Structure 1
């Protein structure tokens, strides 16, 4: 029965499902892993690089991380060709907003525009969903640094730390235990145990102390170590990106060099080895 609805993007199955959207999400779950972590002084994104052939010329630009405008970047998991269309849409929207209002576009406004474009491809006949998920990182004066995740359905949500791509559930489980763990340990437990009678309505996540960029880089490598199939993460197999502010309050986009990535991986290995000895 379900086969009658497989080829149609716009027809719901009797169970209320859109099979083509689910297939697009499944394609993303088989793609290279991308990690996004919100830090107190920036945003860190780490991605697994799929090396298909040793004969492939090294690209001068990243295939996983793309700059959208001066204050926004995205990381991609899924079909790069589909991602290119949506990245162009995001860049066009950001440029038009600046031309019209003479100020940078708010990050959520930019994310919403891209997700509305994605959602349209699940609503009209003769189209298929975009087989790509994004992690959007950016900064604006109203809300500071922000991290968003979106999927082929056009849905998006804000996160402090998240994972897309292969083995994302394993990565999210690690983030739940490692993100802000030092503050929770100082409080004697998780966020719920730290509450008092006067803040029953408080958000438990507010009790989490956000890491700095250096700590977030190490945590991102730990996540990739857990999600990548086979050998542990190496500088050749991953890409580390950081977004911070300079002394003038301008966003600085940086992809860590191979030597810098090796240094972060060495710190993680040393930390893991010391934890194993205790």
Structure 2
């Protein structure tokens, strides 16, 4: 086998290449981008939302049967980017995990618990030759409301390798890098618009600066409309197209209702119309 190439090293999931890479895991990340859809998630002050493209594989397909969003429990849900079959398998596993947690503890599982639990399972899939990583990235959104703990919207992202992390805004799918760059630029602009007093009040740790990641973004206060506007704006920017209600799926959790729900096509049309009037 020649060194420096994937020849021979991409046949088994547990064999590292001389460069220390697991090619089968990298192929799983490519499978996430294969369907060509992009999902963008933004966490606001009192809500969290995810906007994802809806692509019909055939003109004869019933549009309502094609969905990338799924409810896990009353307050939590996921939106996935990648292979739909793998996404549905993950949803079924998460529903079982959430149900078991509620039965044993008497309250809804925190979003962080469900995300880290699935990440642990995904990581095990990279350790055994008789398994394969699932080609899907999941965005977890929900509302955590626990006495003596954090109360508010939550957003987590879990990839095929089992990496789990919380976000203020993120993207997954075909053009995730472009969408995240757009989000970072817009949030940086919003941070600069804040007064010095507001910035001090929202200041975050300087550990990221010391680690060489640049100045971190503070937790910028975003209204429900601003949160939706950012998610939809990022999606429109990377797709370079004017999105129609039938091309868009929006999942949201707000403080008012504290439950996961997917907006109907009429509601999506109203959101797009409202945002266009603001522009």
Q: Give the TM interval when normalised to the shorter protein.
A: 0.7 to 0.9
Aligned to 2:27: 23
Aligned to 1:221: 232
Offset at 1:235? 0.8
Within 5 Å, give how 1:112-261 maps onto structure 2: 112-140=116-144, 141=146, 142-143=149-150, 144-179=152-187, 181-187=189-195, 201=206, 205=216, 207-228=218-239, 231-246=241-256, 251-261=258-268
Following the alignment from structure 2 to structure 1, what is the Cα–Cα distance between the partners of residues 219 and 97? 34
Asked if 2 retains the 8 angstrom alpha-carbon contact of 1:76 and 1:135, the reply is yes
Offset at 1:231? 3.1
Asked if 1 retains the 8 angstrom alpha-carbon contact of 2:83 and 2:135, the reply is yes
Query: What is the root-mean-square deviation of aligned Cα atoms in Å?
Result: 2.5
Asked if 2 retains the 8 angstrom alpha-carbon contact of 1:213 and 1:242, the reply is no
Aligned to 1:263: 270
- Does residue 44 of the first structure (1) align with residue 49 of the second (2)? yes
Asked if 2 retains the 8 angstrom alpha-carbon contact of 1:222 and 1:268, the reply is no
Asked if 2 retains the 8 angstrom alpha-carbon contact of 1:77 and 1:133, the reply is yes
Following the alignment from structure 2 to structure 1, what is the Cα–Cα distance between the partners of residues 136 and 217? 31
Following the alignment from structure 1 to structure 2, what is the Cα–Cα distance between the partners of residues 205 and 213? 23
Structure 2 unaligned spans of 5+:
209-214
Offset at 1:114? 0.9
Offset at 1:105? 1.3
Asked if 1 retains the 8 angstrom alpha-carbon contact of 2:56 and 2:63, the reply is no
- Does residue 3 of the first structure (1) align with residue 10 of the second (2)? no
- Does residue 99 of the first structure (1) align with residue 100 of the second (2)? no
Asked if 1 retains the 8 angstrom alpha-carbon contact of 2:206 and 2:216, the reply is no
Asked if 1 retains the 8 angstrom alpha-carbon contact of 2:14 and 2:128, the reply is yes
Following the alignment from structure 1 to structure 2, what is the Cα–Cα distance between the partners of residues 109 and 199? 24
Following the alignment from structure 2 to structure 1, what is the Cα–Cα distance between the partners of residues 204 and 130? 52
Following the alignment from structure 2 to structure 1, what is the Cα–Cα distance between the partners of residues 226 and 19? 44
Count of aligned pairs: 262
TM-score, normalized by length of structure 1?
0.85
Q: Render the CA deviation track for 1:4-46: whole Å, top value 9, x for unaligned.
A: 0112111111100000110110121233111111011111111
Asked if 2 retains the 8 angstrom alpha-carbon contact of 1:78 and 1:165, the reply is yes
Offset at 1:205? 4.6
Secondary structure of 2:52's aligned partner? strand
Offset at 1:199? 8.5
Following the alignment from structure 1 to structure 2, what is the Cα–Cα distance between the partners of residues 157 and 85? 21
Q: Render the CA deviation track for 1:43-63: whole Å, top value 9, x for unaligned.
A: 111100012222112335x62
TM-score, normalized by length of structure 2?
0.85
Secondary structure of 2:260's aligned partner? strand
Following the alignment from structure 1 to structure 2, what is the Cα–Cα distance between the partners of residues 178 and 52? 33
